[in-house]
Amino acid sequence: MPRAPGSKKLTPEKKVAVALFLVDLAARGTRVVDAVTKATATFQLGSTVVWEIWRSRMDAGALVAERPRKPKKTKRTKDEIAWLVAGVPLCDRQTLESLAKATAVPKTTLWRHLKSGTFSLR
């Protein structure tokens, strides 16, 4: 789940500190749910983040590793969409809805490419 706008990225040091805190409480016999609640209050983190740290506590590499964002692979390239739009007669390009029906490309995708300048309706 993405972070809220403006919030800082959780540092590996803080992740390890939370994991050690949770493991220490669990070793003392504290229930996991109570340990997560205490960690949430102590470190001022969301419960989802603390639960993720709890799940990955045994794998130190997962706690400190950076997970790079992979760019989403698109179904069609800009050139393919421009080619599809160019193949539609002008009378079917009057509205975005008619263009979407003629090209079988979603309206949202057409709108994004229209705004980026890949093609024009006229």
Give residue-wise pLDDT tens across range 55-95: 988 887 777 777 777 888 889 999 999 999 999 999 988 89
**SS3 of 98, please?**
helix
Place of tokens 């263009």: 99
Per domain, the residue ranges of the chain are 12-64, 78-116
- DSSP codes, 16-79: HHHHHHHHHHHHTT--HHHHHHHHHHHHT--HHHHHHHHHTTT-HHHHH---PPPPPPPSS-HH
For residue range 110-119, list pLDDT tens digits in order.
999 999 998 8
pTM of full prediction above 0.95: no
> 41 or 122, which is more confident?
41
DSSP label of 75 = S
Which DSSP helix (H) or strand (E) runs through 61?
A: helix 60-64
pLDDT at 56: 86
pLDDT digits (tens, 9 = 90+) for 4-27: 777 777 888 899 999 999 999 999
Predicted confidence band of residue 1 (pLDDT cuts 50, 70, 90): low
